[in-house]
Amino acid sequence: MNLLPPDTLAKVRLGVSVSPSADLGRLGLLEEHFRLAIGELARMVLVLGGDLQYCGHLAPDGYTTFLMDELKRYDRQNDRLSVLLAWAVHRRLPLREIRRAEKDLGLFGSIQYLDIAGIPVKFAAGRGEEPPDLPEDEIAPSLSAMRQASIGQTQGRLFIGGRRFGYQGMMPGVLEEALLALSQGQPVFLAGGFGGVTHDLVERIDSRAAAWLPADGSGIGDHGWRTGLEKISEINGGRSWEQLANGLQVDENRQLAATHRSSEIAALVSLGMGRLAQAKAFLTNLEPPK
């Protein structure tokens, strides 16, 4: 994995689309295995000179905090992680928690605070120390706007896990980010071995590659989940793996879609990214986040 030059992904920012997978238990996997894979992917991107972006929240046990810790673990400074917080996320937090997160991230990254339309704002503008009331009808639009903003700031996206239930937007976040990325023609990597929405995406791309995880009833989501997957099928239009434009061959994508081994996932993603970089297939002329 590390035979590629250390600047292979220079000026490339990869989005990480991840949320918990309800399939871990029936796969005999733990949350620790899941996080190990996420950490390995993050390390691979950083070692190759790339940057990371994540749309999330600031919960102490969440993936934003986990990615922050990974950067500190490998001493990767110089603003290598961009965290996007939707209006519906940062407006629900006391200012002291936001300031604490800013301090914790320090030189390792930056946090963008977005308004309901996805435009950067100052997190303390127009509010006091405690969270103001947030109208219910602002939640889903602000989450969608955040994801749209994220796609405009990244050159590729890594997918792993993904909840089918308990989300707050118009559809599961991982699914909405996949729709946006595929619509924009970004390179997409589907690490489906941990199940969840990422496995559902694989099933819509190539049903044979998803057959290793039989349906058991728990994989049936709600209307937003069904609608999102139907749109994935429409966008794909029978092009199968070709639409992912990720530098991997069909057999390599199928391997990535089934494995839960963190080193194998990172090696396959590294292989695809290396090929894209060598072919200058990444769009690297995007403006950095403000």
pLDDT tens-digit map of 66-79 = 998 888 887 656 77
pLDDT value at residue 69: 86
- Residue 237 in any domain: the answer is yes
pLDDT in tens, the chain (290 residues): 457 888 888 889 999 999 999 999 999 999 999 999 999 999 999 889 999 999 989 988 999 999 988 888 876 567 789 999 999 999 999 999 999 999 988 888 899 999 999 999 999 999 999 999 999 999 999 999 999 999 999 999 999 999 998 888 999 999 999 999 999 999 999 999 999 999 999 999 999 999 999 877 666 778 999 999 999 999 999 899 999 999 999 999 999 999 999 999 999 999 999 899 888 877 554 444 44
pLDDT (0 to 100) of residue 288: 43
The neighbour count for residue 209, using CB atoms within 10 Å, is 22
Q: Is 159 a domain residue?
A: yes
**Distance, CA of 5 to chain centre:** 24
Inside any domain, residue 3: no
Number of folded domains in the chain? Answer: 1
Domain around 199: 13-277
Radius of gyration of the chain, Cα coordinates, nearest whole angstrom = 18
283 within some domain: no
151 in any annotated domain: yes
Domain membership flag for residue 252: yes
Query: Is residue 87 situated within a structural domain?
Result: yes
Closest CA to 178 of 169, 170, 187: 187
Distance in angstroms (rounded) separating the CA atoms of residues 45 and 265: 12
What lies within 8 Å, CB to CB, of 235 at 6+ separation is 179, 182, 183, 243
